Amino acid sequence: MLVTSPPLTSTATPASLEAFLAGVGPRAFRFAEAGLRQREDALDAVQDAMERMLGYADQPPEEWTPLFWSILRRRIIDLQRRRSFRLKFWAPQDDQDQDSAIDWADEAAGPARQHEQQQDYARLVRALRQLPARQREAFSLRVLQELDVATTARAMGCSEGSVKTHLSRARDALQKQLEASR
């Protein structure tokens, strides 16, 4: 019999590093996919971050959340830099198939609701991609991943005030972009 643990929130302390990684995996994938725009790259980034976290198993559990998000964020940045270097010198990237590569599985929703959710998610992803990197990271960590300001600041390597500023600017920009797209 397979026992699954309940989803972890930013305030819950997991019993083990494996439980922490299992709970953070889906959210980490969505965060990486928003930053990298490709499913395979996002899976690689999350896997690399999880592997690196295994080296920090001796850290106290309350340190795992900011540490993991910081590791994942740096991995995403590395992959973005590598991709931009390759794109400059080899082939241009085809952006048309980016949204079609996302798996939209939602068993509970009917076809009409599922289509509406897909459209809303695609609009949000496009709007997030238009944000500067720091604003996108602050929004993703604070709003989508539901981390507190202090944890987000530690993961991003900046002050809490900077997180609040980036988040405020991101919300303003997203609101304008999403209103304009309706």
**Residue 129, domain CATH:** 1.10.10.10
Q: What angle do CA 92, 123, 150 make, to 5 degrees?
A: 95
Q: Map tokens 């969505």 to a residue.
A: 30
Q: Evaluate whether residue 127 is within a structural domain.
A: yes
In the chain, the number of structural domains is 2
| 54/114 same-domain check | no
Domain boundaries, position 41: 14-90
Q: Evaluate whether residue 96 is within a structural domain.
A: no
Q: Quote the pLDDT of residue 87.
A: 57
Last residue of a domain, one of 33, 55, 90: 90
Q: Evaluate whether residue 32 is within a structural domain.
A: yes
**Separation between Cα atoms, residue 48 and residue 66, nearest integer Å:** 16
| 116/77 same-domain check | no
Contact status, residue 67 vs residue 56, Cβ threshold 8 Å: yes
C-alpha dihedral (125, 127, 133, 138), degrees to nearest 10: -80
| 82/117 same-domain check | no
Strand, coil or helix: what is 4? coil
Last residue of a domain, one of 40, 59, 90: 90
Residue-wise pLDDT for 127-159, tens only, equals 888 999 999 999 989 988 889 999 999 999 999
Phi-psi region of 37 (alpha: psi -120 to 50; beta: other; left: phi over 0): left
Q: Quote the pLDDT of residue 101.
A: 46
Q: Evaluate whether residue 2 is within a structural domain.
A: no
Q: Evaluate whether residue 98 is within a structural domain.
A: no
Residue-wise pLDDT for 16-64, tens only, equals 889 999 999 999 998 898 888 888 999 999 999 999 999 988 999 999 9
Last residue of a domain, one of 28, 58, 90: 90
97 sits in which H/E element: none
Contact status, residue 136 vs residue 128, Cβ threshold 8 Å: yes
Q: Evaluate whether residue 69 is within a structural domain.
A: yes
pTM over 0.85: no
Q: Which two tokens stand for residue 177?
A: 């972009």
